[in-house]
A and B are shown apart, each in its own frame.
Chain A
């Protein structure tokens, strides 16, 4: 079983603060890394799919970077808003079809 770790497990920030989380994964047999945003009682929503070392992706105030050689990805949120409160999940694609998920980082943005 491959180990995908996320840190921190939970985070409380004030509205307007910027924050970042880490996903670490095995550096061998890399296919892709997916980031999801998951609100309670809803479907996990795809944020980014990252496939190349050095990839940087951005969607609004959220961005992500990827380092496949050292096995980590960072997710950044600039100027957090209460609607950013959710669990952020990363998933490491080991083979063509098999994902290994992290435990998620639970973000609460305090107004």
Chain B
């Protein structure tokens, strides 16, 4: 069964460093998402992406964040200058159509720790 994959599974970085989190969505899916979950808190929406453009973004997704689909298979989230509060689990998700009734498929997440 097709699945969303994410790499790395864990990343430790120093405050101020740039990190790139990678996702490979399901191959025929067209809509892509990033979420994060800070330990003990709710899963939060960061950004949605379609047709090589950001469709929507939350207040969390400030200028430090960017997303890209560089090669038609990977979908990346870049954090330019990490802060301690960026430590969280980051999930990628994808779905085939925009329809509200469409199932969204999640990856297993990347646990980011900023020291």
Among A34, A36, A41, A96, residue most surrounded by chain B Cβ atoms (within 10 Å):
A96
CB distance from A64 to the nearest CB of B (A): 14
Q: How large is the interface on A (under 10, 10 to 19, 20 to 34, 35 or more residues)?
A: 20 to 34
A99 in contact with B45 given A42-B108, A51-B101 (CB within 8 Å): yes
When C-beta atoms are compared, the residue in chain A nearest to B107 turns out to be A43
With the chains together, A100 CA to B98 CA distance in Å?
Answer: 17
Q: Which of B4, B31, B43 contacts A97 (CB 8 A)?
A: B31
A98 in contact with B100 given A43-B3, A43-B4, A43-B108 (CB within 8 Å): no
B103 contacts chain A at the CB level, 8 A cutoff: yes
Interface residues of B (CB under 8 A from A): 3-4, 31, 33, 35, 41-45, 48, 55-56, 58, 91, 98, 100-109
A-B contact list, 12 entries, CB within 8 Å: A41-B108, A42-B108, A43-B91, A43-B106, A43-B108, A95-B56, A97-B48, A97-B55, A98-B48, A98-B58, A101-B43, A101-B44
